[in-house]
Each structure stands twice: as C-alpha cells, then as structure tokens.
C-alpha cells in the first residue's frame, strides 16, 4: 500500500507526488513453535525476530501466523488468508506435528510444495525451516522425514534453515514444563538459528520495488 501526498502548487505548475511505502511483511507460517503458547506476545519467535529487525533499522513487520496444532495440511488450508497481507517473505516452519502424529511423509512433502509454490506465485520469497524427529522414532522414518526439507528447498531454490530447534531440543533450560515448547530463552535461541538465513532474504527483498510484493 502506498500513501500518496499531493503538494498543491500555483496554477500551471506540476504537482509533486511523495510516495511513502508501508512496512513490508514477513509472515511466519507455523505451528505452536511459532505461535508461542505460554509466552507473552513479546517473547514469541516472530516478536524476537521483530526486535532483530528493529535493531537493523529495516522497514519490516513480523507477522505471527502460527497456530498451535497445525499440520502442513491445516496450514495449507489457511494459506490464502495469510497471503492476504501480501507478505514479501514467508517463513514456513511446519512439519513437526505431521511427524509426531506419524502422518505420511509423502503427504507432508506435497503440502509443503503447495505452500511454497503458492507463496511464490503470490510474489513472496520463501524461507523453509527444517524439522527433525525425536530419537524414539524409527531411524528410517526419521531419515525420510528430515530429508524432505532440504529436497524441497533445493528444488524450489529457496533458503533453508537446517534445523529449527538446534541447541534447544531436549534441553530443559530452554523449554516449558511440558518439555516440548520453547520458553522465552528457547524462542530467542530459535531466532538465532533462523536469523542468519532470514536476514539476507530480507535484504534482497528490500531492494525490490513496489508495495506488498
């Protein structure tokens, strides 16, 4: 969206048009790891990223589009609503609930491909956030699951965060009492995993012209 201010001049003079571009949106499409149950709004992953963006003086708004319990299928079903804000960047942090529920890996991959493809078709750059399953899952299932993320990122030529919970998973210092969801410090550590990949994408998208996309 552009807000245009017209400067009135004397008759015969050309009007001056000043275009002020609204902040660009980076949407975080995810599940509870993004939504941040048990955390204040200022402690969630997107809020921590927003703080990093502010420190870099970039004109971006981090949109928390995380819904607790979301699978890739549920997120795909609401994707059009998320894209209504015309995000220039979409961070896709999904798949953990698919894996924990033992849903078909092939179906998860199809859903991720649809999410990435539709986001790109809407004019958004995409960052894919890799997931891994706990060690109590069969090795072959864990390997098949983990392989989806780099494959999708490679084929769609998008940036990849190797593992969302690197340095956080299984560490009781960084999770809530449920032993699963990150606490405030855990969210900050997840942001540290994502930021080095996300920042160059934001800089690249910031160079493009036009509002929204």
Q: Point out the residues that are catalytic.
A: 32, 178, 181
Distance CA 112, CA 148 (A): 9
Distance CA 64, CA 210 (A): 23
Give the residue from 23, 26, 79, 3 showing the smallest Cα distance to 200.
26
How many CB atoms neighbour CB 99 within 10 A?
22
List the beta bridge partners of residue 6. Answer: 17
């Amino acid at each position: 969206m552009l807000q245009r201010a017209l400067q009135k001049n004397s008759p015969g003079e050309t009007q001056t048009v000043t275009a002020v571009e609204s902040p660009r949106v980076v949407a975080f499409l995810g599940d509870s790891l993004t939504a941040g149950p048990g955390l204040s709004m200022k402690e969630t992953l997107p809020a921590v990223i927003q703080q990093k963006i502010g420190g870099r003086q970039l004109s971006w708004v981090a949109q928390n589009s995380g819904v607790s319990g979301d699978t890739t299928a549920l997120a795909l079903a609401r994707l059009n609503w998320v894209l209504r804000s015309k995000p220039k960047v979409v961070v896709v942090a999904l798949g953990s609930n698919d894996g924990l529920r033992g849903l078909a890996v092939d179906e998860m991959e199809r859903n991720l491909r649809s999410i990435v493809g539709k986001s790109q078709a809407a004019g958004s750059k995409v960052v894919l956030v890799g997931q891994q399953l706990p060690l109590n899952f069969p090795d072959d299932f864990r390997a098949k699951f983990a392989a989806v993320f780099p494959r999708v990122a490679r084929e769609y030529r998008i940036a990849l965060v190797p593992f969302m919970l690197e340095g956080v998973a299984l560490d009781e210092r960084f999770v809530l009492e449920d032993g699963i969801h990150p606490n405030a410090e855990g969210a900050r550590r997840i942001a540290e995993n994502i930021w080095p990949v996300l920042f160059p994408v934001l800089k690249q998208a910031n160079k493009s012209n036009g509002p929204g996309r």
